[in-house]
Amino acid sequence: MDGANLSGWLNLGATFTDVPGGTAHWTFAGGKNHHNAEGDVPIVIQGISTVTVTCPTSTPYTGSPIEACTRR
């Protein structure tokens, strides 16, 4: 069945939108031409990180390279 759209027989299980995620149980109902299948897959959602950038209001030019901003 090259090019066949089998997505109608696939159920991806639970959805997760918050940390830490969970386990989704998926199923595939293959019908008469395909084997049924199922399994579990861990869904891991990483926490959001925060980056702070500090830039001076003014930096005098001395002719040497300067790093105008720092990242923490």
pLDDT tens digits, 26-51? 999 987 888 999 999 999 888 777 77
Is 35 within a domain?
yes
pTM for the model: 0.51
Domain range for 57 is 7-71
Place of tokens 């209001």: 57
Count CA atoms within 13 Å of residue 15 on its CB side. Answer: 2
Question: Tens digit of pLDDT for each residue in 49-59?
Answer: 777 878 777 77
Q: How many domains does the chain have?
A: 1
Q: Does any domain span residue 2?
A: no
